[in-house]
Amino acid sequence: MIAHLRGAVRRVGPFVGLCIVAFGARAQTAPPVNVTEIDSLVRATIADKRIVGLSVGVMQDGKVVFAKGYGMASLAARTPVTPATMFPVGSVTKQFTCTVALLLAEDRKLRMTDRVAKYFPTLTRANDVALLDLGQHVAGYRDYYPLDFVDREMQHDVTADAIMKEYATRPLDFDPGTRWSYSNTNFTVLGAVVERVSGKPLGALLAERVFTVVGMRHTSFDPPTNGSAIVTGYTSWALDEPTPAQPEGKGWTGAAGAIWSTPTDLLAWDLALVTGKVLSPASYATLTTARRLKDGRSTGYGCGDGVNDRGAAIMLTHGGAVSGSVAQNTVLPALRSAVVLLANSETALGGLSNAIVAKL
């Protein structure tokens, strides 16, 4: 799972820049997007990459202009993908984990400058690592999932405490703040802090402070158990037929990648985020401002969100993956526009996302 999560971010490319979009700013306007062209792009990509199932959502100027499912949610059951089919979103979860941490900071229950030692003093150099360092991937903790498959260890259930004991007590890979290195371990620690401070499981806190507020009725932390339509993840080698992927054991995804959702729910989240419905302006700036390392270089990464200002408009973008599924969420704040792609095949979606974004 989470090696895929790390790789999904890197496939997007390096992020450089600073998001300076203010709440309430008048959105730029663009010609209406051609939905027939989007449909053609999607169908061509599915055929070329042999994607089992794909769900696509496009928002332009605050309105969902395209929401469509393609292919199969389950090959065995012959269940088609619909706009309401729920997919795992992998590392797109990270911006939600940072958001609830920032909400707790707004409540003055924690500070993002707090040291990890305040909550977990036995972790490596806990006095030198701030909570914001965790969310911005500059803490130096070793990533617990650097592989591109579910190894034997990850087939078994695990707790966040066990992950931290195993991976956050090792020597740091670098001095905090001197390098950027994607690490799911960082978010395991941040999620554990959030749970300790709030006194609630992360999933319950997300439902209360984000999902309900935004109106995300087809979103859950961990696979839903209420009969919602969900996908089976698939993997394939070379030209072999897709086979069901071995899922991670319970607990491995967690605060780093356990959310399941739909494109329309994620588009509602994107709009709520950029219009100030969830976070204060100061917290939004923390989420979307690229971290500067101690030598002044930009990481191109905020708190759980990539920041790219090299094109015609600033983009906030993050990929994600768990075993057998991938996700891509790209937001153009100034246009109040976004593209969400969710697939139940281990296929890079950056090319398709970029092609659709270009039409916005």
Instruction: List residues bridging with 70 in a β-sheet.
Output: 54
CB 160 within 8 A of CB 66: no
d(CA 183, CA 139): 9
Residue 5's pLDDT is 42
Each residue's pLDDT tens digit, 184-194:
999 999 999 99
Q: Would you state the pLDDT for residue 46? A: 95
Most confident option among 8-22, 143-157, 285-299: 285-299
Cα 99 to Cα 48, 54, 104, 144, 296: the distances in Å are 36, 27, 9, 23, 25
Instruction: Compute the average pLDDT of residues 268-276.
Output: 97
Between CA 160 and CA 165 the distance in angstroms is: 9
3-state secondary structure of 355: helix
Closest Cα partner for 254 from 2, 7, 10, 9? Answer: 2
Backbone angles phi, psi at 273, to 5 degrees: -65, -50
Query: 307-332 pLDDT, tens per residue?
Result: 997 777 789 999 999 999 999 999 99
What is the reported pTM? 0.91
Q: How many helices (H) and strands (E) does the chain have?
A: 12, 12
Asked whether the predicted pLDDT for residue 270 surpasses 50, the reply is yes
Rounded Cα–Cα distance for residues 31 and 21 (Å): 21
Structure tokens belonging to residue 139: 């803490």
pLDDT on residue 220: 97
The H-or-E segment that residue 307 falls in is: strand 306-308
pLDDT tens per residue across span 90-126: 999 999 999 999 999 999 999 999 999 999 999 999 9
